[in-house]
Chain A
Amino acid sequence: MKDLKMELSISDLSKYLGVTVDTIERWVRQGKLPVSGKPSDYRFRKADLEKWAAIHNIRLNFSGRESIVKKNEADVLLSQAVQNGGIHFDITGNEVKSVLKSSIERIFNIPDDFKTDLFERLIEREKAFSTGIGSGMAIPHPREPLNYLNQPLVAICFLSNPVEYHAIDHLPVSVLFLILCPSLKLHLNLLSTLSFCLKNSQFVDFLNSRPEPGILIEQIEKLQATCLV
């Protein structure tokens, strides 16, 4: 009840009605709004306004008019995701299927029951369109998000022998970045950061030198900071 006795200023009302202050002043002048106070300082009683809005079939939005902001899930940095997924060396295999299979075996964050399913999904994605992005890099990932994961992970797998991957530039691939995410949004964000990093030729050369995991993560941290800016 106390709430209904509240008085609003002209700028409050302009926010609630979604029109400018000028419009409200014109409506007051034309006698279309219930108003109290002097022309220099109009006051609107909330109870009167509600009655007025009901008669004129106008929607009053006292809770403000900001559009519904889509809830932003906690963003995960690429370096964090790489730490989740791990950096693996000496992946064996001589074609796409076998390297993917042995990569999956090495990622300990994936429950064993899901490994076969994940393998099939990755192969399906490769069949649709190769994920080899050139310069010896590939980003294998499933098309659908993996609901069973609690956190996104990116596994960097260095292959012992370069493998023919049907990449864009037809070069054999020697490094795999597996992106495995519980949601589409995280996937797209990680993918976009990773794609930004891999455009940097110094970083690609650095990767080809098979760096120590600690130094690699440091390097990724530096790069992703420039990406965010």
Chain B
Amino acid sequence: MSPVINCIKGFYYRLFQFDDRLLLIISGSIAGICSGLAAVALRLSLESVLEWLHPFRQYAWAFIFPAAGALLSSLFLEKIIREKAGHGVPEVISSVSRYGGLLRLRSSYSRLISSFLTIGSGGSAGPEAPVVMSGSAIGSNIAKFLQLNDRQRTTLVGCGTAGAIAAIFNAPIAGLVFAIEVILGEWKFVNIIPIAIAAVAGAQVSQSIIPENVLFTHHPFDVGFSDILPSLCLALIAALVSVLFTKALQQTGALAKKNSFPFWIRAVIGGSVVGLIGMFFPVVLGEGYHYIQSMISGGFSLGLFLSFAAVFAKILATAVTLGWGGSGGIFAPCLMIGSLTGIVFHKILFMILPDIGCASEGAYALLGMTGLVSGVMQAPLTGIFLIVEITGGYETILPLIVVSSISSTMSHYLEPASFYFKELIERGQILRPGTDERILSDLNISELIFKGYIKVSENMIFREFIEILKSSDQNFFPVVDEKTGEYKGMIEIPAIRKYALDPGMYDMIFLSQIMDTDMLTASPDNDLQEVLDMMEINNIDTLPIVDRKRFVGMISKTRILDLYRRELIMQTSIR
């Protein structure tokens, strides 16, 4: 090999392999750009299809649009891509927490197409979760292409997520915060830098293609001290609505699983229901950005009662869309429900106290959005930064923080698992880095087994065993069948001490007579958690591991502690 190539190789190694920060920043920004492009593509195509379908909305048969969209979307997912419907964020979180961020390449476009069909036809869902899914799949596959390890791959998944959120909302900080707060759950220096770069890249892509500064423009609000108390009340209401929304989503999902319709009939029924709701409340259809814009800028025309009803109509429509086979996210519905809640609250407030001197309706729509986002996702920082960035309304930051923190606390109190985590916690798949569950699930039984035990035969006479005992420091002797090698029982030295000290017994007993056959055993397939529970319940320190009737080794609390500590050091170290 020529010295030039060697030199380049050495340089490469020093720059990328030994210290991966630069590598992560570069590949992270590529992930951010790609997911940003995906997000922009979805947004532009949704805008154009909504425009194209708009003239047909006035006809009575328009309710079949959502039905057709849901049908196509579910057919596409089930038959072509073979993935589950839904919004995809839990899949990303579970892949990060259990499988080192591995995602399939096809996930990077499947949700884009299916959610385009669902939302474009009028289904009540948002385009954000699908782009999160595709952004993280892009990140994961870039990592796969570069043959990166699990930790680096997870970071790139975060980069993809941040780029997607940053691009679709044109909100880089919200992208960064969402990726770390919700997807990775780990505030670490090595994560934050590449993800921040990716968020910037995503937002930059979005800005250069769609030249607008903020998603929802408005006139500056006049928010003052008198708004703090009303925003406290709004936060509590927003928390209640969040819990209601979360419950509605879960209930309709469960209802859809119970009935025996084929998936595509289910999708048609769900779509038609959404279409019918849309006949009376056109606000519920699609992602609803247009209406949110009008609410913030104060041009929203619905009265108090209709707005109040629209909150529930939107909750119902979203739950049916997502639960019955449609595909899309809950970000946009959260914003929509939140702003409707804010408007209703403001209208009631002004009805009771006409001269309270609060800010305008638009400001409360904004606060309501924060309340819903923080409440449903239980991610207070995401709520704050997202709303500030998409509205450019920094003057509302004080009540915004109040609403966000109170709403997320309240909804956490009422429903400890957020919408994203609920299902994962039930499946036991939410394992945040550096937690006990994570370490226990990473440590394998096979890593902890202590092998190299002298085995003894059940037909061995005790005198012979005493000879073995003299030259061994084992405390446990597994007893096996001479012929088949099957595990029969265990001889524990403390239990046989009485006989060992009595030479009169040496020729009188066989090992099969003094072995303990009731000793609990575990299998190598058991989780460490199960083994620890077994030890805890029965108050024992050592367990034999038996695999298909063969003795493999012993597992002891001492050894578990030793390895647990090393694992903890490895997993919580900076790099």
Task: Write the residues of chain A forming the contact surface with B, with a CB cutoff of 8 angstroms.
Answer: 55, 57, 59, 61, 65-68, 70, 128-131, 133, 139, 141, 143, 168, 184, 187-188, 191-192, 195-196, 198-199
Closest to B540 in A: A67
Q: How far is the CA of A59 from the CA of B436 in the complex (A)?
A: 14
Distance between A222 CB and nearest chain B CB, rounded to angstroms = 19
Assess whether A67 is in contact with B539, with CB atoms less than 8 Å apart.
yes
User: Which of A59, A70, A199 contacts B504, CB < 8 Å?
Assistant: A199
Interface residues of B in 404-438 (CB under 8 A from A): 416, 436-437
Query: Total contacts A to B, CB within 8 angstroms?
Result: 54
Assess whether A133 is in contact with B533, with CB atoms less than 8 Å apart.
no
Assess whether A192 is in contact with B507, with CB atoms less than 8 Å apart.
no
Distance between A156 CB and nearest chain B CB, rounded to angstroms = 16
Distance between B158 CB and nearest chain A CB, rounded to angstroms = 26
Interface residues of B in 156-192 (CB under 8 A from A): none
Spot the interface stretch: B86-94, B315-323, B472-480, B510-518: B510-518
Given contacts A57-B437, A143-B513, contact A192 B461 (CB under 8 A): no
Assess whether B507 is in contact with A129, with CB atoms less than 8 Å apart.
yes
Assess whether B533 is in contact with A59, with CB atoms less than 8 Å apart.
yes
Closest to B520 in A: A68
Given contacts A67-B539, A68-B538, A168-B507, contact A192 B502 (CB under 8 A): yes
Assess whether B539 is in contact with A195, with CB atoms less than 8 Å apart.
no
Given contacts A59-B536, A68-B538, A133-B507, contact A196 B461 (CB under 8 A): no
Assess whether A143 is in contact with B510, with CB atoms less than 8 Å apart.
yes
Distance between B480 CB and nearest chain A CB, rounded to angstroms = 17
Q: How far is the CA of A61 from the CA of B537 in the complex (A)?
A: 8
Closest to B416 in A: A55
Distance between A57 CB and nearest chain B CB, rounded to angstroms = 7
Distance between A218 CB and nearest chain B CB, rounded to angstroms = 22
Summarize B's interface: helix, strand, loop or mixed. helix
Q: How far is the CA of A139 from the CA of B536 in the complex (A)?
A: 43
Assess whether A192 is in contact with B498, with CB atoms less than 8 Å apart.
yes
Distance between A184 CB and nearest chain B CB, rounded to angstroms = 6
Interface residues of B in 534-574 (CB under 8 A from A): 536-540
Summarize A's interface: helix, strand, loop or mixed. loop
User: Which of A65, A66, A184 contacts B513, CB < 8 Å?
Assistant: A184
Residues of B within 8 A of A141 (CB): 508
Assess whether B508 is in contact with A139, with CB atoms less than 8 Å apart.
yes
- Could you list some 27 contacts between A and B, CB below 8 A? A55-B416, A57-B436, A59-B533, A59-B536, A59-B537, A61-B537, A67-B538, A67-B539, A67-B540, A70-B518, A128-B461, A129-B461, A129-B507, A133-B507, A143-B510, A143-B512, A188-B509, A188-B513, A191-B508, A191-B509, A192-B502, A195-B504, A195-B505, A195-B508, A196-B504, A198-B504, A199-B504
User: Which of A57, A129, A168, A195 contacts B502, CB < 8 Å?
Assistant: A195
User: Which of B459, B461, B502, B513 contacts A187, CB < 8 Å?
Assistant: B513
Closest 9 A/B residue pairs (Cβ) = A195-B504, A67-B539, A195-B505, A129-B461, A191-B508, A59-B536, A184-B513, A199-B504, A195-B502
Q: How far is the CA of A40 from the CA of B512 in the complex (A)?
A: 55
Closest to A197 in B: B504
Assess whether A196 is in contact with B509, with CB atoms less than 8 Å apart.
no
Does B499 reach chain A (CB closer than 8 Å)? yes
Q: How far is the CA of A139 from the CA of B514 in the complex (A)?
A: 18
Residues of A within 8 A of B437 (CB): 57
Residues of B within 8 A of A199 (CB): 504
User: Which of B416, B459, B514, B539 contacts A188, CB < 8 Å?
Assistant: B514
B437, B514, B536: most-surrounded residue (chain A CB, <10 A): B536
Closest to A167 in B: B507
Assess whether B502 is in contact with A196, with CB atoms less than 8 Å apart.
yes
Assess whether B510 is in contact with A192, with CB atoms less than 8 Å apart.
no
Residues of A within 8 A of B538 (CB): 67-68
Assess whether B499 is in contact with A192, with CB atoms less than 8 Å apart.
yes
Interface residues of B in 461-509 (CB under 8 A from A): 461, 498-499, 502, 504-505, 507-509
Q: How far is the CA of A6 from the CA of B105 in the complex (A)?
A: 56
Residues of A within 8 A of B461 (CB): 128-129
Residues of A within 8 A of B459 (CB): 128
Q: How far is the CA of A130 from the CA of B536 in the complex (A)?
A: 44
Assess whether B539 is in contact with A65, with CB atoms less than 8 Å apart.
yes
Given contacts A188-B514, A192-B498, contact A133 B504 (CB under 8 A): yes
Closest to B512 in A: A143
Residues of A within 8 A of B510 (CB): 128, 143
Residues of B within 8 A of A187 (CB): 513
- A68-B538, A70-B518, A192-B502 are known; give 11 further A-B pairs, CB within 8 A: A61-B536, A66-B539, A68-B539, A131-B507, A133-B507, A184-B513, A187-B513, A188-B513, A192-B499, A195-B508, A196-B502
Closest to B463 in A: A129
Residues of B within 8 A of A65 (CB): 539
